[in-house]
Copies of this chain bind each other. A is one copy, B any other.
Amino acid sequence: MEKKKIRIKDIAQLAGVSIGTVDRVLHNRGKVSDEALQKVLETLHQIDYKPNLIARTLGSKKTYRIAVLIPDPSLDEYWAQSEQGITQAETEWAQYEFSIEPFYFNLYDKESFRSVAEEVTEANPDGILVAPIFYHEALPYFQKFKDMGIPYILFNTNIPEVEPLSFIGQNLYSSGKVGAELMCLGQGGSGNFVVLHINEDSHNSIHLLEKERGFKEYFAEHNGTDYNIKTLDLGNLKETAIEKEVENLLADPKLKGILVSTSKGTSLVSSILEKSGKKDIRLVGYDLLKENIHYLRAGIIDFLINQNPKRQAFLGINYLANHLLLKKAPPHFDLFPLEIITQQNLESYLESTFH
């Protein structure tokens, strides 16, 4: 049971070489003669050496630089919450040699993503945390990062084929199903239902389409034929135009419920629904934005699904830091639970440490 720890010094002694040589072998850096190499490798085989990571980081003066590539937090409350998570992780790691360099792109501008991603490659960081919401624009950069040997972690939106070190986020297909379940809860599944995409380019974002797919699948699984699902994509319209469209929807007497696929869109639709005075439309949306909290309390929004952007980003930095500093591999996937927020459990989410 009681294994005494083996140090580099011990290996050196056993192999009959110096500490420096062992170090060179362990990290294959510097030049080592074949003879020495063999001796060290052999003793390494015979024993179970576990490097003391604490000593390693203390001894090394390297400071790691992590780049964060996300939408500009000052333009969007959802991303502001992500940024909070990053800041929190930053302070927790402050004692070590870490620096976090933010790179913000415009949520509505693919070009800006491109140019900012370019800056990231120029900065040549030791690790990257990125929310790749523009699929096509992001792809080539991951190839670059890979070529440069820079590890990257994705959050919010996954692109499995770029093989990130880790993905942090939710299963959006399931998310859509949960949305549908909440839609039907207690009111049956018959009538007209709408999925609303607002404020993002839904064609380019698997993101929203996945939610839509799950939503429809739930109905297909659970209901007869007595329902109708409509999808509306208001991504490119101005606010007044969106308002018109939503009002049109609400005019439908058979409309039973709306799922809004984005957090910001949820606020917008809530305000329109409130103005309309209609009380019997079930509204399900996303995330604990200020306005959404307000409308949930007011009973306009019936349910929110929480994506927990703050914690997503927080864990992203944590995983990267652990990987770089302690060579500790993060999970390949960290899929967050699909948290359902209602009037009654809302406060418990707001009070708890991580929301």
Q: Are B55 and A178 interface neighbours, CB within 8 A?
A: no
Q: Are A342 and B340 interface neighbours, CB within 8 A?
A: yes
- Cβ contacts A to B, 24 pairs, < 8 Å: A5-B95, A50-B95, A52-B58, A54-B95, A54-B96, A55-B58, A171-B348, A178-B344, A178-B345, A180-B344, A181-B345, A182-B342, A186-B186, A218-B344, A334-B352, A335-B352, A336-B352, A337-B339, A337-B348, A337-B349, A338-B348, A339-B340, A340-B340, A340-B345
* A343 close to B (CB within 8 Å): yes
Point out the residues of chain B lying under 8 angstroms from A340, CB to CB: 339-340, 342, 345
Point out the residues of chain B lying under 8 angstroms from A342, CB to CB: 178, 181-182, 340
How long is the Cα–Cα vector from A180 to B54 in the complex, in angstroms?
49
How long is the Cα–Cα vector from A64 to B218 in the complex, in angstroms?
51
Point out the residues of chain B lying under 8 angstroms from A46, CB to CB: none
Point out the residues of chain B lying under 8 angstroms from A174, CB to CB: 344-345, 347-348
* A170 close to B (CB within 8 Å): yes
How long is the Cα–Cα vector from A185 to B336 in the complex, in angstroms?
25
Identity of the chain B residue whose Cβ is nearest the Cβ of A315 in the assembled complex: B353
Point out the residues of chain B lying under 8 angstroms from A58, CB to CB: 52, 54-55, 58
* A94 close to B (CB within 8 Å): yes
* A20 close to B (CB within 8 Å): no
How long is the Cα–Cα vector from A182 to B348 in the complex, in angstroms?
15
Point out the residues of chain B lying under 8 angstroms from A345, CB to CB: 174, 178, 181, 337-340
* A57 close to B (CB within 8 Å): yes
How long is the Cα–Cα vector from A95 to B5 in the complex, in angstroms?
8
A352/B337 contact (C-beta < 8 A), A50-B95, A54-B96, A95-B51 known: yes
How long is the Cα–Cα vector from A53 to B54 in the complex, in angstroms?
9
Point out the residues of chain B lying under 8 angstroms from A353, CB to CB: 331, 334-335
* A146 close to B (CB within 8 Å): no
How long is the Cα–Cα vector from A344 to B171 in the complex, in angstroms?
12
Question: Nearest chain B CB to A86's CB is how many angstroms away?
Answer: 16
